[in-house]
């Protein structure tokens, strides 16, 4: 041990090395926390890690490139179909944007280009807003299908904002919630404001974004994204405890198009199943959206009493029984 200490004492390179090691260890520690949060349902893990895109063979294709192309279309740098492919046409559009932003012109969509696009798009979306002083109780209604957030002062609509919501694979939680915490500059990918919701099965909230071009689309892992200058307005209007009702389609109307729901599932569809079991007298307590042992036992008892095969999962036969 003393030789190791002597090495770091006598060399600047050693001090730099131990600094790098310590920094890397801390980053890995936080990365572990981030991965744990992603596993348990953090809403926007894709905003925490920015990917660098460039033209190459074979070409890269992903949903985020579609979002970037859409942003470049709205700003007049890209023309044509948004394919989600980082091809030569996309590279040329990025170069044009880099020229306009006085950046290094290399056609690579890296962090500096990403930041510049985010800032320009945010500024492009700026609107004049008058200060609002609510007189009654403020509550929010978010329509996930319309991708709009409505602010009410008692029963009077006083403000509305465009938002981005969850994708079909990672939907926004439908239901009645409350804001349980507020924070400024909560995390790198969550814009300038964060308002967390009391959703039992994961971490969801209303927040800003470093991808303002995603507003008006289904793009998140379940959170509600807003433009930063607009989420700052909303932040001043709400408090911890503010009611938030999220409306939207939970599952297809046709039973045969729905996937079976069973133990281990979490989400809005489980809330509805639990409400149905409570209404039928098979489950006690409040729905929490987590399909655990109590929910499975209640469902099996219902299946047995109604003469269905006891599978412990909600399928085509059971949806109708639960009134869903």
Active-site residues: which are they? 207, 223
Q: DSSP states of 99-144 as a string?
A: HHTT---S--B-HHHHHHHHHHHHHHT---------SS-EEEEEET
| Cβ atoms 139, 242 nearer than 8 A | yes
How many C-beta atoms surround the C-beta of residue 136 within 10 A?
11
Instruction: Give dist(CA 216, CA 193) in Å, integer.
Output: 18
Q: How far is CA 67 from CA 73, 114, 216, 269, in A?
A: 10, 12, 11, 28
CA-angle at 34, arms to 29 and 39, nearest 5°: 125
Instruction: Give dist(CA 46, CA 38) in Å, integer.
Output: 10
| Cβ atoms 222, 250 nearer than 8 A | no
| Cβ atoms 72, 97 nearer than 8 A | yes
Supply 161's token pair.
Answer: 């904002």
Maximum pairwise Cα distance, the chain = 80
Instruction: Give dist(CA 194, CA 225) in Å, integer.
Output: 10
Instruction: Give dist(CA 265, CA 290) in Å, integer.
Output: 6
Instruction: Give dist(CA 292, CA 154) in Å, integer.
Output: 37
């Amino acid at each position: 041990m003393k030789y190791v200490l002597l090495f770091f004492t006598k060399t600047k390179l050693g001090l730099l090395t131990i600094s790098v090691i310590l920094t890397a260890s801390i980053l890995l520690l936080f990365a572990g926390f981030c991965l744990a949060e992603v596993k348990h349902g953090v809403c926007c893990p894709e905003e925490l890690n920015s990917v660098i895109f460039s033209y190459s063979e074979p070409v890269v294709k992903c949903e985020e490139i579609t979002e970037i192309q859409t942003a470049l279309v709205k700003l007049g740098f890209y023309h044509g179909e948004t394919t989600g492919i980082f091809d030569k046409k996309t590279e040329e559009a990025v170069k044009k944007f880099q020229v306009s932003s006085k950046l290094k012109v290399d056609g690579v969509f890296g962090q500096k280009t990403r930041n510049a696009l985010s800032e320009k798009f945010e500024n492009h979306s700026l609107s004049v807003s008058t200060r609002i002083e609510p007189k009654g109780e403020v509550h929010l209604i978010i329509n996930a299908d319309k991708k709009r957030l409505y602010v009410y002062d008692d029963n009077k609509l006083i403000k509305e904002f465009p938002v981005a919501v969850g994708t079909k694979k990672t939907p926004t939680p439908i239901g009645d919630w409350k804001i349980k915490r507020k924070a400024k500059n909560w995390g790198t990918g969550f814009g300038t404001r964060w308002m967390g919701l009391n959703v039992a099965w994961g971490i969801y909230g209303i927040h800003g974004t470093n991808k303002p071009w995603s507003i008006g689309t289904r793009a998140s892992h379940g959170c509600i994204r807003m433009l930063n200058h607009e989420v700052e307005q909303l932040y001043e209007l709400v408090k911890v405890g503010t009611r938030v009702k999220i409306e939207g389609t939970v599952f297809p109307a046709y039973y045969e198009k729905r996937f079976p729901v069973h133990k281990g599932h979490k989400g809005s569809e489980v809330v509805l199943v639990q409400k149905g079991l409570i209404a039928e007298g098979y489950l006690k307590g409040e729905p929490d959206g987590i399909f655990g042992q109590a929910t499975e036992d209640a469902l099996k008892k219902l299946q047995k009493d109604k003469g269905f095969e006891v599978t412990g999962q909600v399928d085509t036969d059971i949806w109708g029984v639960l009134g869903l």
